[in-house]
Chain A
Amino acid sequence: MIEAHNNQWLAALAVELRRCGVAPDLAHHVVHEVATHLRDSGEAASQVFGTPAAYAAAVADSLGPSTGIYQARRPTGQVRLAVRGVSKRYGRRSVLRNVDLTVRAGEIAAIVGANGCGKSTLLRICAGILSPDSGEVFIDGRIGYCPQEGGTYDFLLPDEHFVLVGAGRGMSRDQAVSDGRRQAGHLGWDARERVLARHLSGGTRQKLNLVMSSLGDPEILLLDEPYQGFDRGTYLDFWDQLWEWRNAGRAIVVVTHLLNHLDRVDTVLDLTPSAPVTGVGQRRAEP
């Protein structure tokens, strides 16, 4: 009985939050948090949280005039990455056909599509480590690249990875280590542990991979399915981190085959062969 009431109440809350102008990503978190609370306490939503409309208003109020980290979109900045007419074939198989993509500072672009449709290939072309058959890529800024696998040294510690990448970025040792650990902390990982990369779990190694790519704050981030092996909580932290980077003005391209987060990106580029090739900015409303 209570469960049905609560579910109805939560659905109403989502609607009210949207009405109050709370950004979809945050609204999602607020609803999730309330749902968890209700599950823990076993209480009826209206008793603890009042009416959905009143609670949504209180939430919007506590966020202040769009200064929160989850604020709705800022006006976006200059173009950081422009892919123009990129095509690539492997043997007789054409994987990319005349692909265009524009990503500005403060935007997240998602590259989606079935396995083998050229998502990673496009990212490697954007990074300039693979040549396309035709087309050009323009970049304005430094690139941080997070490969899907094999981006770490089995026999080095997390701190040593930070130092190695940091030195390339011109950071001092201490700075690299403290920055790396801090960013790892945002992903719920204590990187101070003295564990060789080969002994880290798959998800933790991916966190290391991700932190390495963003060390030194490059303006452009190219992330190739960096969340593999993440549990649900880390996955949410990862998207939080992505939005924070976006709001800090970085241009982000993330390869994904999961579609349930597309409502929280600014541009979707679908590489599935039957889909239209050029990505159009789209945002879906929250449930």
Chain B
Amino acid sequence: MTKLYTVAEMTGREIFRRRGVLVLLLTLPLAFYLARRTDHSGQAVRFVLLGVSWAVSVVALFAGSASRAIEPRLRLSGYRSHQLYLGRLAALWGIGAVLSVPYTLLVAVDQDAVRSGAVAVAMLLGVAVAAPLGLLLSAVLPRELEGTLALLIVIGLQMIIDPSATVARSLPFWSSREIATYAVDHVDSGYLERGVLHGLGFMIGLTVLVAVISTLRLRRRPHLRVMPIQ
């Protein structure tokens, strides 16, 4: 537990020292929101949700990339793989949850007739999916630049694709769109249920993928035998 906590703490410290990233975190969702505020209020809510998700996944990508070269030595220093990725995820989820508070409040105060509880759920689900998504991209793509581009593509597609199309469901942040519709347009609770299921499914699926890749990458290779020699 100490080990997991230490990884989480150091991930947090490391992120908070990246001022540029923090500015991005705090302002990007706001910019997204303000850009669409004069439109249909549903769009503004959807965009702030996507903004928070995108910001958290970028931060996760950076945190993952920064750790990539160090994890093998941490593994050799006595950490288990799960302590490394779970500690990192815990920090990212925590930061995302904190970030969600002001934006949920913003929507609740600024928008009339919006189901604020549903907005909060959508935002938290977005964060829950974004953290393992960013870590996954940092694990499979060699450089931050490529990971950032991949995230741009995901978010871009998310913005332009028709949400009712089947293919839209294969995108990680479809849930926020679905729940936003429930929150803004007061449609039936089927939207909420589908959204929550989708979000949880993606969170679990991505986390499992991160776990599998980390465990594989950081496994002790079978040629190495630990034993008294002669």
Contacts and interface: CB of A to CB of B under 8 A. Distances in A.
A129 B221 contact: yes
A82 interface: yes
Interface stretch (A10-18, A150-158, A227-235): A150-158
B75 to A, nearest CB: 8
Contact of A155 (B17, B224, B227): B17
A207 interface: no
A138 B221 contact: no
Interface stretch (A51-59, A140-148, A254-262): A140-148
A166 to B, nearest CB: 8
B194 interface: no
Contacts of B79: 168
A100 interface: no
B74 A165 contact: yes
Nearest to A129: B72
Interface string A186-227: 000000000010000000000000001101100000000000
A160 B13 contact: yes
A168 B13 contact: no
Interface in A152-193: 152-156, 160, 163-165, 167-170
Contacts of A128: 76, 220-221, 223-224
Given A139-B226, A145-B76, A167-B6, A153 B221 contact: no
A164 B6 contact: yes
A196 B228 CA distance: 40
The contact size tier of chain B is 20 to 34
Given A167-B3, A168-B78, A156 B14 contact: yes
B152 interface: no
Contact of B6 (A132, A143, A145, A163): A163
A126 B21 CA distance: 37
Contacts of A168: 3, 74, 77-79
A130 B76 contact: no
Contact of A130 (B70, B221, B225): B221
B40 interface: no
Interface in B1-52: 2-3, 6-7, 10, 13-15, 17-18
Contacts of B224: 128, 136-137, 139
Nearest to A82: B229
A170 B72 CA distance: 17
Contacts of B78: 142, 168-170, 216
Nearest to B225: A138
Interface string B77-107: 1110000000000000000000000000000
A121 interface: no
A131 interface: yes
Interface in B126-158: none
A164 B7 contact: yes
A58 to B, nearest CB: 43
A137 B17 CA distance: 40
Contact of B10 (A142, A146, A156, A169): A156
B230 A79 contact: yes
A125 B72 CA distance: 12
A64 to B, nearest CB: 34
B160 interface: no
Contacts of B75: 129
A8 interface: no
Contacts of B218: 129
B77 A165 contact: yes
A152 B68 CA distance: 10
A145 B18 CA distance: 27
A147 B10 contact: no
B79 to A, nearest CB: 5
Most chain B CB neighbours (cut-off 10 Å) among A79, A140, A155? A155
A153 B12 CA distance: 12
Given A78-B228, A139-B225, A139-B226, A153 B3 contact: no
22 contacts: A78-B229, A79-B230, A128-B76, A128-B224, A131-B223, A138-B225, A139-B229, A142-B78, A143-B76, A146-B73, A149-B69, A150-B70, A151-B69, A153-B10, A155-B15, A156-B10, A156-B14, A160-B10, A160-B13, A163-B10, A165-B74, A213-B73
Given A151-B73, A164-B74, 7 more contacts: A80-B229, A86-B223, A125-B221, A127-B72, A138-B229, A139-B229, A168-B77
